[in-house]
């Protein structure tokens, strides 16, 4: 059943973007294709329980069983062997993707202390936006009393947008609260004289 954010996306956001971008086909407007939730755990080399704990927590947060990620090559400096498990990830699509994004926007972000919007520096120029969470305990599914260690992870919103502007428009219409950035040059400084 399509409801909430997914219904708004299909019935309001896509037609609005189509009109704003002045394109004839709805497939020419940027679409949200998937959300990848990824946690890198360097501590897993010395603490094998870290992987199991994060698999359980990420499963609760996303509603889907995470897969373990392995090192692609050996790095002697970090005592890392090829094939060592060093993280976990979940790829969300369809209804679960929209339900997760809706939860993040409406429930999780407001729970972050001193939250004033997400930074607009997470765009990669290829239609993706990455947002990092320093603490996984901001999600309501996590029982703080049972958490052994607070860990961070990142969420990547993958879209078909061609650049930062297209992706930014889509995410803004979806409800992602971007931080208002101010000019880097302070207005209180006197003009530089030559």
**In this structure, what are the phi and psi dihedrals at residue 133, rounded to the nearest 5 degrees?**
-115, 120
pLDDT tens-digit series, residues 104-115: 998 888 888 888
| Coil/strand/helix, residue 77 | helix
63 with 115: CB under 8 angstroms? no
- Tokens 């299909």 appear where? 10
Bigger pLDDT: 149 or 167?
Answer: 167
Tokens of 129: 């936006």
Q: Which residues pair with 156 in a beta bridge?
A: 36, 130
Average pLDDT estimate for 142-170: 85
Domain residue spans in the chain?
5-21+30-43+53-68+88-174
Tokens of 173: 């219409």
pLDDT of residue 44: 60
pLDDT above 70: percentage of residues in the chain: 82
Name the band, by pLDDT with cuts 50, 70 and 90, for residue 33. very high
Domain 5-21+30-43+53-68+88-174 class in CATH: alpha beta
pLDDT tens-digit series, residues 55-110: 888 888 888 998 887 777 777 766 666 767 677 899 999 999 999 999 999 888 88
> What gap in Å lies between CA 100 and CA 110, rounded to an integer?
15
Average pLDDT estimate for 110-139: 85
Name the band, by pLDDT with cuts 50, 70 and 90, for residue 125. confident
């Amino acid at each position: 059943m399509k409801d909430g954010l997914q219904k708004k996306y299909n019935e309001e956001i896509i037609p609005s973007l189509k009109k704003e971008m002045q394109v004839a086909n709805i497939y020419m407007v940027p679409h949200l294709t998937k959300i990848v939730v990824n946690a890198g755990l360097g501590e897993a080399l010395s603490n094998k329980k870290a992987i199991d704990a994060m698999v359980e927590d990420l499963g609760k947060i996303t509603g889907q069983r995470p897969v373990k990620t392995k090192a692609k090559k050996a790095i002697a400096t970090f005592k890392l062997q090829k094939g060592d498990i060093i993280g976990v990830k979940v790829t969300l699509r369809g209804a679960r993707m929209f339900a997760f994004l809706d939860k993040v926007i409406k429930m999780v972000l407001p729970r972050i202390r001193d939250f004033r919007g997400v930074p607009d520096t997470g765009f990669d120029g290829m239609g993706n936006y990455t947002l990092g969470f320093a603490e996984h305990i901001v999600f309501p599914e996590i029982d703080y009393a049972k958490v052994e260690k607070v860990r961070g992870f990142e969420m990547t919103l993958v879209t078909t947008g061609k650049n930062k502007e297209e992706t930014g428009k889509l995410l803004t219409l979806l409800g992602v609260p971007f931080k208002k950035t101010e000019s880097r040059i302070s207005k209180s400084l006197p003009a530089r004289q030559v």
